[in-house]
């Protein structure tokens, strides 16, 4: 059921199906090695995933799934992570997100001194700002972003969500000159995925004529600088205007995620970011936490990028 503020709670029938499915899984170390759902598994859950898909494609474009409640025995962290893996797979085909071939990426601060300006990827830093879409590293379009909260930060780390359809409306009404610049090609880095650049506009349109955005300023600036092709004054003006609209509180919805909550967005129509955050001094990574539960876990989110399957290739 979809509630106010984008939240969605799976029915108890759907949650019980997932409980039975997860408890019957064989041993697996890596989350993406866990068996995924077939079309004859967990019917209620899969039917409710289709409600979510409809909301992502035709509704608010943002869904925040409430934590799955296990009445028998609290889910382990690995089982919680498996729920978002199953959900992502039900929505689409998970894509490779780095050169190592990983399809589930852990978002956490690797080092307090890490920065995108020094070449780090956003998900490896504690930096805030830079409202963006995730579909920037690969030239082709994919649909669904899945961001699942394993552990919140001790301070900050508020997620910022911006509906791109509203942003487009503002641009069209007040800044039509900017629109026409954003519709032209920019250069993009495939940072972390391949040592290559590609060209694409920030703003394109789907078959329904709706706007679709591709935006992450540091990756774009870096691609233009590296290739001795600096952004023109006109391009900088257009990006500055876009960023200023994205940063305006009127256009933002903010949510601080709790452990077990899962954010789903239709990536090209929802720009997102976060405020900066800080972990406890003695906080450990999820890999260290597996061996030692005595120290707090860093702010950690699992991230999946899912490409919609054609109708002939359903799960």
Nearer to Fe ion, 17 or 134 (CB): 134
Stretch that binds Fe ion, among 18-26, 38-46, 56-64, 127-135 (CB under 5 A): 127-135
Minimum CB separation from Fe ion for residue 99, in Å? Answer: 18
Minimum CB separation from Fe ion for residue 147, in Å? Answer: 7
Minimum CB separation from Fe ion for residue 222, in Å? Answer: 16
Residue 127 contacts Fe ion per CB under 5 A? no
Minimum CB separation from Fe ion for residue 216, in Å? Answer: 8
Residue 134 contacts Fe ion per CB under 5 A? yes
Minimum CB separation from Fe ion for residue 271, in Å? Answer: 9
Residue 79 contacts Fe ion per CB under 5 A? no
Count residues binding Fe ion (CB under 5 A).
1
Minimum CB separation from Fe ion for residue 70, in Å? Answer: 29
Nearer to Fe ion, 134 or 261 (CB): 134
Nearer to Fe ion, 134 or 302 (CB): 134
Nearer to Fe ion, 55 or 134 (CB): 134
**Per-position DSSP letters for the chain, written without gaps between them:** -B-GGGEE---HHHHHHHHHHHHTPPP-SSGGGSPPPPTTS-HHHHHHHHHHHHHHHHS-SEEEEPPPP-SSSPPPHHHHHHHHHHHHHHHSEEPP-STT--SSEEE--S-TT--GGGT--GGGS---EEEE-STTSSSS---EEEEEEEE--SEE--EEEEEHHHHHHHHHHH-HHHHHHHTSEEEEE-TTT-S-EEEEESEEE-TTS-EEE---HHHHHHHHHHTT-PPPHHHHHHHHHHHHHHH-GGGEEEEPPPTT-EEEEEGGGEEEEE--EE--TT-B-HHHHHH-TTSPBPPEEEEEEEEPPPGGG--
Binders of Fe ion among residues 139 to 158 (CB under 5 A) are none
Residue 189 contacts Fe ion per CB under 5 A? no
Nearer to Fe ion, 134 or 279 (CB): 134
Residue 279 contacts Fe ion per CB under 5 A? no
Question: What residues line the site for Fe ion (CB under 5 A)?
Answer: 134
């Amino acid at each position: 059921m979809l509630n106010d503020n984008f939240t969605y709670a799976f029915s108890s029938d759907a949650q019980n199906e997932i409980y039975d499915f997860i408890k019957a899984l064989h041993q697996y170390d890596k989350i993406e090695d866990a068996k995924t759902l077939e079309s004859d598994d967990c019917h209620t859950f899969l039917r409710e995933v289709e409600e979510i898909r409809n909301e992502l494609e035709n509704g608010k474009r943002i869904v925040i799934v409430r934590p799955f409640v296990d009445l028998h025995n609290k889910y382990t962290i690995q089982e919680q992570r498996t729920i978002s893996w199953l959900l992502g797979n039900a929505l689409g085909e998970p894509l490779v997100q780095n050169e190592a071939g990983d399809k589930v990426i852990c978002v956490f601060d690797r080092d307090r001194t890490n920065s995108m300006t020094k070449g780090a990827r956003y998900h490896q830093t504690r930096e805030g700002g830079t409202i963006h879409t995730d579909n920037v590293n690969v030239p082709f379009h994919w649909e669904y972003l899945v961001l699942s909260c394993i552990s919140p930060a001790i301070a900050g780390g508020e997620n910022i969500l911006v509906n791109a359809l509203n942003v487009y409306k503002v641009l069209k009404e007040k800044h039509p000159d900017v629109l026409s610049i954003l519709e032209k090609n920019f250069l993009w880095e495939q940072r972390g995925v391949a040592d290559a650049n590609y060209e694409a506009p920030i703003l394109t349109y789907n078959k329904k004529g709706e706007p679709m955005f591709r935006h992450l300023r540091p990756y774009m600036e870096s691609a233009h600088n590296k290739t001795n092709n600096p952004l023109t004054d006109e391009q900088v003006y257009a990006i500055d205007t876009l960023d200023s609209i994205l940063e305006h509180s009127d256009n933002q919805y903010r949510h601080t995620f709790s452990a077990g909550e899962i954010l789903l967005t239709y990536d090209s129509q929802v720009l997102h970011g976060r405020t900066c955050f800080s972990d406890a001094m003695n906080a450990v990574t999820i890999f260290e936490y597996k061996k030692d539960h005595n120290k707090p876990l860093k702010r950690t989110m699992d991230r999946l990028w899912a490409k919609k399957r054609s109708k002939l290739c359903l799960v």
